[in-house]
């Protein structure tokens, strides 16, 4: 095996890991604080990609489009939290049913609104030319997504560790009753976290769009990935989502490159092993 | 072992005639409309192809004023959701509750295979568009015809073209990891290698693979071309990502990757791609020009292979109804007419079925070009009278196992 | 209550037996058979969900394990009864293994292990195409002929399914009423206390998991006998989720709930979809609306409503 192989696949792995972090950090946040397995998260990601497509087609600037789509999906997330999930807090089975129901609705409406054809999101023009590394080409855009993911990770870290809101969220993750007891406005915090988590999914959808395209079934392709990341890394911990994303990136890329026949199991087998031997994931703060 | 379709048909005919004679009085038979059941996918991830199939059928019956021959038509459309169990239920509904005389569809091979035994036992003529080879080969169903093509039917001529005209020597093949992808690749590989080319790399990607970066990075640097057998959004994603990685290798493909319905969205990424197909929106036949205009007018899209295949199915159905003198109630007579139908002027050119019910007609080698600001599949070569057995002959072809990951053997892989 | 229950039961039984005579058309009889099959799937998953609080997203794995085993054994020359018994034994043994793995982690971890195991079975079914036919699936040559009775007609298969489901229902009902069922509920609500009382909570859960796997496998046999075809689509995440949703929609805490849920989802998918093109949206809305107004599912929700109507003295105005 040539050394270029290792370099290129490593780049593939970290770039994919970055995208996965954008996808799964929101899921992890929501689950960590509110114990809600938001199974509509994949649909939010897909909706972000579709919003991105339509806005870019109208000539929007890529950065602005990503933020606008993130805001749109975030508002939808708030609506889901306020109007539906709030009515059934603590009812885990109900949450599974409702969030899957919402993902059915979103997928079906996307089909109606954007037809079934795959829709490409154009990357910003200046990022379309590939970068040459050791004589091998690598898409510049993917490295930019990785950079954005890293910036987002640092930003989230500061939010969680250095701000009042972050402290409140951490307190809520560790012990909800206690947090309520010391007067933390838990209700507003929930809404805020849902906004943030959903918006991250929406932004992830726009940023992932030029790589993956927007197409029906994107939601179902992405949701299991988010779940795997959260399981491997452990829910409710930013570090967990971060490490989990890159672990999955490496597992996926090197797994299928080295042992193509394992392509179907390369993610699920490690997941089972981790859960069997480390039921809280690698960095879990939360009892799953 | 070879299967003689005619003997099966004769048996079926005798049984059909007997039961038919008992059930329906001849006078009443001609009374009502012809009921056509249409199985397609309108929801879920496969809806893209299914909705285009519906466009083809809708346009056809609109043009014909809802008639086949001189009999009125009642069209019943059913959404299978791309799910085999649901396809079976919908087929039962069409046959048992709505008493359709024939079926068009379904989209996917696994759906068609899920209803195969039911189609046989209920003796319902079906015009399918699914690709699975054995449906008209080793496990041929006497009630089924396929007006589109088998998975590998148009890969054969492309293999010939790549070796002889493009003079390609080293090609990598990559496709969706399911029967269609395997079969489509195998047909290309067989003819290409027999004509002197070498398939040096073979990759199959899981259907739900989120990203092809890993695979694309593995492609060898000194290839003459890469052959893709990806369908739907996967073909779209593969070619786009290939170019994203700065890989400018010549793209070859089966009949799914650079479909007209996706071509405008793919833009420059698809330029130069050469594919084998039985159709192109660029074909100059008068019928096709009218068809393309109709689809563009009614649905604001370019027709691709999915819209074309159901339209061709309707054309063959129309021919058969005429040949049978409108007697669709007599299943045996109607099925025989369908198998023997010859249409000289379909949108894909002259067309008939072979003795196992699969299409025989022109195969086109097409190249993506930009004409008048629009991306099109220009026809660069026409192979006339191409059937599912290519030049091998039925008996020799059927002696081999069905195309798969492992057949034909890959002797030239480099690793 | 018991009097009402007995009446309801008698009416339901009479209706179910009369189904083929009432609706006549084979298509609807087949529809009823499918409802029965999915009802058994939902009932089996509900043994874990309703009584044990264990949410599984991998129940369709049994369709793969039992279904493929049954078809492969039949194709390779075993008679239908032997094939069915061996397939059930294999599938139940696998349920034992899956249970040992899944029960290592509680809550979301349990959901995820079951999901992962389901996906692994799906992946094998997909990838091992020389054995399973891959995407193209496998056909079962014919329905079985128990005691010389040909099941190929729609009403006969319906009665066959009805007998099997009735038997299963009886066992699951006994299970829920048994001391074992009670200790399972105890393990759900008060795991620590149950342990202290000397119950082996893990064993109770594991046995439940295995029993659910067994009845899921029986449902899988019915599925394969009905469709005479099996492909990986039947054992994907979508199918597992649907089975789970049936139980939750109808109401996991009741015995009738999963049956009602199975009937609604099966009918929306197969019958309503003929008339409503956006049936996926409709299904999603049903989920959301039901859970908002009846958080614990349709059957418990309706029971509460019924109780409020029949006993007007209790706090009025609380229904909506």
Exposure class string for B126-141: b at 16+ Cβ within 10 A, else e: bbbbbbbbbbbbbebb
Tokens of B21: 């004679």
User: Tokens standing for C35?
Assistant: 């409802």
Q: Do A118 and B217 touch (CB under 8 A)?
A: no
Q: Does pLDDT of B105 surpass 80?
A: yes
The predicted-structure confidence for B271-307, as pLDDT tens digits, reads as follows 999 999 999 999 999 999 999 999 999 999 999 999 9
C280 touches chain B (CB under 8 A): yes
What is the tens place of the pLDDT at every residue in A5-22?
Answer: 888 899 999 999 999 999
> Which pLDDT score, from 0 to 100, does residue B45 have?
86
The tens digit of pLDDT for each residue in B205-219 reads 988 888 899 999 999
Cα–Cα–Cα angle for B31, B34, B40, rounded to 5 degrees:
160
Check residues B74 and A175 and name the one with the higher pLDDT. Answer: B74
Query: What is the distance in angstroms between the Cα of C256 and the nearest Cα belonging to chain A?
Result: 17
Is B173's pLDDT higher than 60? Answer: yes
A15–B208 CB contact, under 8 Å:
no
Question: Whole-angstrom Cα distance, residue C57 to residue C115?
Answer: 5
Q: How confident is the model at residue B384 (pLDDT cuts 50, 70, 90)?
A: very high
Question: What's the CA gap between B273 and B227, in Å, rounded?
Answer: 10
Q: What is the percentage of chain B residues whose pLDDT exceeds 70?
A: 93
C25–B44 C-beta distance less than 8 A: no
Sign of CA dihedral B22, B27, B30, B35: negative
Residue A282, phi then psi, degrees to nearest 5: -70, -35
Q: Which two tokens stand for residue C193?
A: 């206390």
- Of A51-65, B139-153, C105-119, C226-240, minimum mean pLDDT range: C105-119
The angle that helices C237-250 and C298-310 make with each other, rounded to 10 degrees, is 10
Which residues of chain A have a CB within 8 Å of the CB of C280?
104-105, 107-108
Q: How is B234-262 classified by DSSP, letter by letter?
A: HHHHHHHHHHHTT--PEEEE-SSTT-HHH
Chain C residues touching B114 at Cβ < 8 A = 137, 227, 229, 231
pLDDT band at residue A285 using 50, 70 and 90 as cut-offs? low
pLDDT band at B100 (very low <50, low <70, confident <90, very high): very high
pLDDT of C167 strictly over 70: yes
Q: Is B10 exposed, middle or buried (0-12, 13-18, 19+ CB in 10 A)?
A: middle
- Whole-number mean pLDDT of chain C? 89
Same domain, B180 and B329: no
CA nearest neighbour of B239 among B223, B221, B253, B255: B253
Tokens 């048992």: give the residue: B96
Query: What pLDDT, on a 0 to 100 scale, did the predictor assign at position B28?
Result: 44
- Binary contact (A279, C109; C-beta < 8 A): yes
- What chain C residue is nearest to A288 in terms of C-alpha separation? C108
- Does residue A48 surpass a pLDDT of 80? yes
Whether residues A120 and B51 touch (CB distance < 8 A) is answered with: no
* Interface contacts A/B by beta carbons within 8 Å: 108
* Per-residue confidence (pLDDT) for residue B30, from 0 to 100: 55
Domain boundaries, chain A: 3-120+128-277
In angstroms, how far is the first alpha carbon of chain B from the final one? 37
For B78, the closest of C30, C139, C274 (CB atoms) is C274
Q: Is residue B167 part of a domain?
A: yes
Of B208, B218, B236, the CB nearest to A221: B208
pLDDT at residue B36 tops 80: yes
Query: Are B278 and B357 contained in the same domain?
Result: no
Range in A253-262, B33-42, B120-129, B183-192 the model is least confident about: A253-262
Per CATH, the architecture of A3-120+128-277 is what? Answer: Orthogonal Bundle (1.10)
- pLDDT (0 to 100) of residue C238: 85
Q: Measured between alpha carbons, how far is B128 from B103 in angstroms, rounded to an integer?
A: 8
**pLDDT at C178 (0 to 100):** 87
Q: How far is C153 from chain B (nearest CA, A)?
A: 11
Cα C266 to chain centroid distance, Å, stands at 12
pLDDT reading at A181 higher than 60: yes
The CATH code of the domain that includes B244 is 3.40.50.2300
Mean of pLDDT values over C130-141 = 90
Q: Indicate whether B137 and B245 sit together in one domain.
A: no
Whether B243 shows a pLDDT value over 90: the answer reads yes
ipTM higher than threshold 0.90: no
Across chain A, what does the average pLDDT equal? 89
- Banded pLDDT at B1 (limits 50, 70, 90): very low
Across the range C139-151, mean pLDDT stands at 91
Q: Does residue A193 contact residue A170 with C-beta atoms inside 8 Å?
A: no
Is residue B31 very low, low, confident or very high in pLDDT (cuts 50, 70, 90)?
Answer: low
Which of B313, B332, B361 lies at the terminal end of a domain, its last residue? B361
Do B107 and B84 lie in one domain? The reply is yes
- With an 8 Å Cβ cutoff, are C55 and A105 in contact? no
- C-alpha C118, offset from chain centre: 15
**Highest averaged pLDDT of the listed ranges A150-164, C4-18, C194-208:** A150-164
- pLDDT of A199 higher than 60: yes
β-strand partners of B78: B39
Residue A224's H or E segment, with its range, is: helix A218-233
Asked if the model's pLDDT at residue B11 lies above 70, the reply is: no
User: What pLDDT is recorded for position C311?
Assistant: 78
Q: What is the number of structural domains in chain B?
A: 2
Residue range(s) defining the domain that contains residue B138:
5-150+284-361
Q: Looking at CA atoms only, how far is residue A191 from chain B in angstroms?
A: 31
Contact residues, chain B, for A220 at CB < 8 Å: 45, 208
pLDDT mean over A192-201: 95
Flag whether B407 is in a domain.
no
Has residue B7 got a pLDDT over 60? no
What pLDDT does residue C317 have?
A: 45
The structure tokens 């993750």 sit at A173
In this structure, are residues B305 and B369 in contact, taking their beta carbons and an 8 Å threshold?
Answer: no
Give tens-digit pLDDT for A131-148. 887 777 899 999 999 999
- pLDDT score of C104: 84
| Distance, CA of B181 to CA of C86 (rounded, Å) | 34
Q: A187: pLDDT confidence band, cut at 50, 70 and 90?
A: confident
Long-range contact set of residues A277-282: C-beta below 8 Å, sequence gap at least 24: A279/C104, A279/C105, A279/C106, A279/C109, A280/A234, A281/A230, A281/A231, A281/A232, A281/A233, A281/A234, A281/A235, A281/A240, A281/A244, A282/A232, A282/A233, A282/A234, A282/A240, A282/A243, A282/A244, A282/A247
Same domain for B347 and B368?
no
Model confidence at B32, pLDDT cuts 50, 70, 90, reads confident
- Of the partner residues C109, C245, C278, the one whose CB lies closest to the CB of residue A97: C245
Question: Closest to C109 (Cβ–Cβ): which among A94, A104, A288?
Answer: A288
Q: Please give, rounded to a whole number of angstroms, the shortest distance from the CA of B218 to a CA of chain A.
A: 8
- Name every chain A residue with its beta carbon within 8 A of the beta carbon of C300: none
Supply the pTM of this predicted model: 0.91
Domain check: are B355 and B278 in the same one? no
* Residue A151 CB burial class (10 angstroms; 0-12, 13-18, ≥19): exposed
Q: How confident is the model at residue B10 (pLDDT cuts 50, 70, 90)?
A: very low
pLDDT at residue B346, rounded to an integer: 96
Average pLDDT, chain B: 90
Q: Mind listing the pLDDT tens digit for each residue in A228-241?
A: 898 888 777 888 89
């Amino acid at each position: 095996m040539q050394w270029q192989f290792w370099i290129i696949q490593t780049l593939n792995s970290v770039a994919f890991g970055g995208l996965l972090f954008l996808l799964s950090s929101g899921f992890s946040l929501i689950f960590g604080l509110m114990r809600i397995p938001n199974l509509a998260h994949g649909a939010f990601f897909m909706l972000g990609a579709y919003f991105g497509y339509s806005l870019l087609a109208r000539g929007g600037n890529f950065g602005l489009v990503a933020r606008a789509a993130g805001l749109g999906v975030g508002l939808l997330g708030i609506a889901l939290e306020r109007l539906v999930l709030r009515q059934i807090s603590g009812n885990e089975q109900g949450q599974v049913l409702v969030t899957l129901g919402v993902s059915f609705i979103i997928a079906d409406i996307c089909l109606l609104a954007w037809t079934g054809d795959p829709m490409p999101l154009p990357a910003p023009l200046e990022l379309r030319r590939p970068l040459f590394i050791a004589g091998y080409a690598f898409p510049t855009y993917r490295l930019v997504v990785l950079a954005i993911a890293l910036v987002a990770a640092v930003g989230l870290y500061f939010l969680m560790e250095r701000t009042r809101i972050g402290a409140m969220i951490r307190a809520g993750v560790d012990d909800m009753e206690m947090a309520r007891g010391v007067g933390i406005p838990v209700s507003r915090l929930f809404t805020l976290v849902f906004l943030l988590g959903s918006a991250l999914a929406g932004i992830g959808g726009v940023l992932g769009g030029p790589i993956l395209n927007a197409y029906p079934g994107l939601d179902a392709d992405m949701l299991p990935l988010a779940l795997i990341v959260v399981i491997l890394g452990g829910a409710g911990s930013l570090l967990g989502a971060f490490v989990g994303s890159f672990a999955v990136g490496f597992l996926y890329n090197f797994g299928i490159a080295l042992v193509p026949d394992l392509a179907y199991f390369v993610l699920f087998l490690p997941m089972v092993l981790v859960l069997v031997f480390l039921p809280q994931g690698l960095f879990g703060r939360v009892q799953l | 072992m070879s299967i003689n379709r005619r003997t099966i048909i004769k048996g079926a005919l005798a049984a059909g005639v007997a039961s038919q004679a008992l059930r329906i009085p001849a006078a009443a038979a001609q009374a009502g409309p012809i009921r056509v059941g249409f199985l397609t996918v309108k929801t879920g991830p496969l809806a893209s192809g299914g909705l285009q199939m519906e466009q083809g059928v809708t346009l056809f019956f609109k043009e014909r004023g809802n008639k086949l021959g001189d009999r009125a038509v009642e069209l019943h459309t059913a959404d299978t959701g791309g799910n085999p169990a649901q396809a079976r239920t919908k087929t039962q509904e069409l046959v048992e509750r709505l008493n359709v005389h024939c079926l068009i569809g379904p989209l996917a091979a696994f759906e068609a295979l899920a209803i195969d035994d039911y189609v046989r036992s209920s003796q319902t003529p079906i015009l399918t568009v699914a690709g699975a080879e054995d449906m008209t080969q080793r496990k041929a169903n006497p009630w089924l015809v396929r007006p589109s093509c088998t998975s590998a039917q148009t890969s054969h001529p492309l293999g010939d073209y790549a070796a002889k005209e493009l003079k390609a020597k080293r090609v990598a093949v990559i496709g969706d990891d399911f029967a269609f992808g395997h079969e489509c690749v195998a047909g290309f590989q067989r003819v290409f290698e027999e004509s002197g080319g070498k398939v040096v790399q073979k990759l199959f990607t899981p259907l739900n693979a989120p990203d092809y970066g890993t695979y694309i990075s593995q492609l060898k640097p000194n290839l003459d071309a890469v052959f893709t057998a990806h369908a739907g959004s996967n073909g779209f994603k593969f070619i786009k990502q290939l170019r994203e990685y700065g890989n400018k290798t010549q793209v070859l493909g089966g009949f799914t990757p650079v479909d007209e319905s996706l071509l405008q969205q793919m833009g420059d990424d698809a330029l130069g791609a050469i594919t084998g197909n039985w159709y192109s929106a660029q074909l100059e036949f008068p019928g096709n020009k009218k068809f393309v205009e109709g689809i563009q007018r009614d649905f604001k899209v370019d027709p691709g292979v999915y819209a074309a295949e159901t339209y061709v199915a309707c054309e063959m159905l129309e021919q058969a109804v005429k040949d049978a003198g409108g007697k669709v109630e007599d299943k045996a007579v109607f099925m025989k007419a369908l198998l023997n139908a010859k249409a000289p002027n379909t949108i894909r050119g002259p067309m008939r079925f072979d003795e196992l019910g699969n299409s025989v007609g022109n195969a086109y080698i097409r190249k993506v070009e930009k004409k008048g600001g629009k991306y099109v599949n220009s026809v660069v070569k026409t192979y006339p009278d191409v059937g599912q057995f290519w030049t091998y002959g039925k008996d020799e072809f059927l002696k081999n196992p069905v195309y798969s990951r492992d057949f034909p053997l890959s002797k030239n892989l480099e690793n | 209550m018991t009097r009402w229950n007995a009446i309801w039961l008698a009416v339901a039984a009479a209706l179910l037996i009369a189904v083929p005579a009432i609706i006549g058309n084979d298509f609807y009889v087949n529809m009823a058979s499918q409802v029965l099959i999915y009802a058994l799937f939902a009932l089996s998953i509900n043994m874990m969900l309703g009584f044990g609080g264990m949410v599984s997203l991998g129940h369709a794995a049994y369709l793969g394990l039992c279904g493929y085993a049954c078809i492969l054994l039949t194709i390779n020359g075993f008679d239908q009864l032997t094939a069915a018994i061996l397939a059930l034994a294999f599938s139940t043994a696998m349920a034992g293994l899956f249970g040992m793995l899944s029960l290592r982690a509680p809550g979301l971890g349990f959901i995820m292990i079951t999901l992962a195991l389901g996906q692994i079975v799906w992946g094998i079914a997909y990838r091992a195409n020389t054995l399973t036919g891959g995407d193209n699936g496998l056909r079962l040559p014919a329905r079985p002929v128990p005691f010389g009775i040909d099941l190929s007609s729609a009403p006969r298969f319906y009665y066959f399914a009805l007998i099997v489901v009735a038997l299963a229902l009886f066992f699951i009902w006994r299970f829920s009423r048994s001391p074992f069922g009670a200790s399972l509920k105890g393990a759900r609500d008060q795991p620590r206390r149950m342990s202290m009382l000397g119950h082996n909570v893990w064993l109770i859960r594991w046995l439940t998991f295995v029993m659910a796997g067994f009845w899921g496998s029986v449902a899988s046999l019915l599925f394969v006998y009905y469709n005479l075809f099996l492909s990986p689509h039947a054992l994907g995440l979508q199918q597992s989720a649907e089975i789970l949703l049936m139980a939750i929609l109808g109401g996991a805490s009741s015995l009738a709930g999963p049956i009602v849920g199975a009937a609604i989802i099966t009918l929306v998918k197969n019958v309503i979809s003929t008339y409503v093109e956006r049936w996926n949206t409709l299904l999603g809305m049903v989920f959301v609306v039901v859970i908002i107004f009846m958080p614990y599912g349709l059957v418990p929700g309706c029971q509460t409503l019924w109780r409020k109507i029949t006993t007007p003295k209790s706090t009025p105005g609380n229904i909506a």
